[in-house]
Amino acid sequence: MKKRIQKHINKEEYVKIYICDKDGTSITNFNGYIHEQDKNFLLMSTDYDFFYNGTVVIRKEDISEIKRTENEQFIQKIMEKEGLKNVIFERNKSLNFHLDSYENMFQTIREMQIPVIIEALYGNDDRFQIGPVASCNNKHVKINYFNARGEYDLKPVSCKYKEITHFTIDSKYALLYYKYSKFID
């Protein structure tokens, strides 16, 4: 899989990635461009209806399929003709976020002072946690969670790294909620 992923990175190809749990049950999928990989993760800019939708970190062990069919090729043509691919690659460059250990990635996000969306979707657990990183160590991250009304929980919520299905930074959704949640008393 490493060579195939690297080929998509080198050729800047638009792909669709499916992830599943340890039992092979499909969890979700992502569309976009892979920018980087290491032994454990890949870093991908995603899109929604042709527009940049944030940067996601996915565990490689959860990937069940990487598609590059005629559909993805056609979408890439549209993205290129509309200049949207360049926008996505420029945004990735300006973020200057790179793969590392969970602890180091969450520390970087904390230093960037941007919110993160953490999803834990394995088994019966179905958690969506959003907010800025409060702290992290080598086993878990704590975030200052805010709800759909922009209200912060009194205490940071914790998520163990082994429970994380994927996490997203720089999504318009999270950034807008974060912007307005700061001002709510």
User: Using one digit for the tens of pLDDT, what is the confidence trace for 137-166?
Assistant: 999 999 999 998 888 988 999 999 999 999
Please provide the CATH number assigned to the domain covering 100-185: 2.30.30.100
Mean pLDDT of all residues belonging to the chain: 93
pLDDT, residue 126, reads 81
Q: Is the pLDDT of residue 36 over 70?
A: yes
Is 8 buried (19+), middle (13-18) or exposed (0-12) by CB count in 10 A?
Answer: buried
Q: Is the pLDDT of residue 69 over 70?
A: yes
pLDDT, residue 123, reads 66
| 97-136 confidence digits (pLDDT tens) | 999 999 999 999 999 999 999 998 876 778 899 999 999 9
Phi-psi region of 79 (alpha: psi -120 to 50; beta: other; left: phi over 0): alpha
Please provide the CATH number assigned to the domain covering 1-93: 2.30.30.100
**Residue 23 binned pLDDT confidence (cut-offs 50, 70, 90):** confident
**Percent of the chain at pLDDT above 90?**
83
Residues of the chain with CATH 2.30.30.100: 1-93, 100-185
